[in-house]
Amino acid sequence: MDPFAKARAAADELIGRIAARASGRPLVMGILNVTPDSFSDGGRFAAVETALAHAGAMAAAGADIIDIGAESTRPGFVPVEAAEEWARLEPILGPLIESVAPPVSVDTTKAEIARRAAALGAAIINDISGLRADPAMAEVAAESGAALVVMHHRAEIDPDRDILADLFDFFDATLDLARQAGVAREKIVLDPGVGFGKSLRQNLQAIDSCGSLREKFGLPVLIGASRKSFIGALTGAPVEERLAGTLAAHLRAFWRGAAIFRVHDVAEHVAALKIWSEIDRA
């Protein structure tokens, strides 16, 4: 029996929805952090009951995907070993996949975690390292048939760098790694990595890069600007008061062609994107 049959079927259905925009709007990915130290909601959803309740609430609000992560990637984060990451994920992941309707994405840079998650039925591997952190990640994506989000990142900020050219170079290399491993190209989603090794101006350019990335690579683009520090830098708003800035950034990215939005505030994004879509159709 194929251990990844469930993950593969869920990924195929999801990729079809992204391609067809069957929902009439781009997809909303709700964030479920089961970490003690994430920048916005660390520690709030570490318990199984609270995590499942929050996932259920996001699904009821219209989330198309639930993205669960067990290792913080905030600036200055402390990496955790695979055993610790899985200990945080395992009690929640199985029940989440069985009980919550939207497909589940696992935010990890470790191939071992991705493999175990896909075996439970996770439809997406969300790798913020862009296949750089673990050489086996591309092989796991190919073997499992899960969809794969690959994110651009830089180790250090270089404000003089042409960030669009850097995105192109990075994704050229990432897609080559994926091709060599046998990952189906149509299952890959690009994430320009807002907040990861970029200056304020480069973050704004990354948000606006969706159209250029789609044109060059012919792949869907995910944007995750939710509550990030560049919004605070521009508005002075603390983390919990950055919804307006987040919506503005994401609507700009939608206008530029983004297909998926990774967000903390699901209901507000579903409403905003629906109104935009209805106006566009009218």
- Of 8, 198, 228, 242, the catalytic one is 228
Is there a contact between 156 and 132 (Cβ–Cβ < 8 Å)? no
As a whole number, the mean pLDDT across the chain is 92
User: How many other C-beta atoms lie within 10 A of the C-beta of residue 148?
Assistant: 26
Cα 175 to Cα 82, 138, 186: the distances in Å are 25, 10, 11
pLDDT at 47 > cutoff 90:
no
Q: What is the identity of the amino acid at 74?
A: R
> Percent of the chain having pLDDT more than 90?
83
At 227-282, the pLDDT tens digits run 999 999 999 999 999 999 999 999 999 999 999 999 999 999 999 999 998 898 88
Q: Among the listed ranges 24-33, 42-51, 176-185, 234-243, which one has the minimum average pLDDT value?
A: 42-51
Per-residue pLDDT at 37: 52
Report the predicted TM-score, pTM, of the whole model to 2 decimal places.
0.94
Is the pLDDT reported for residue 46 higher than 90? no
Pick the CATH number of 5-281 from 1.10.3720.10, 3.20.20.20, 3.40.50.2000, 3.40.50.2300: 3.20.20.20
* Residue 236 Cα distances to 74, 208, 228, 232, angstroms: 19, 22, 12, 5
pLDDT at 103 over 80: yes
What percent of the chain lies above the pLDDT cut of 70? 93
Q: Is 110 a catalytic residue?
A: no
Which helix (H) or strand (E) segment holds residue 140: the answer is helix 137-144
Of the residues 25, 262, 274, 281, only one is catalytic, namely: 262
Residue 262 appears among annotated catalytic residues = yes
Q: What is the DSSP letter of 190?
A: E
Q: Which of 75-84, 101-110, 228-237 has the lowest mean pLDDT?
A: 75-84
The one-character DSSP state at 236 is -
Q: With contact defined as beta carbons under 8 Å apart, do 213 and 248 qualify? A: no
Q: Copy the structure tokens of residue 129.
A: 């390292």
pLDDT at 19: 79
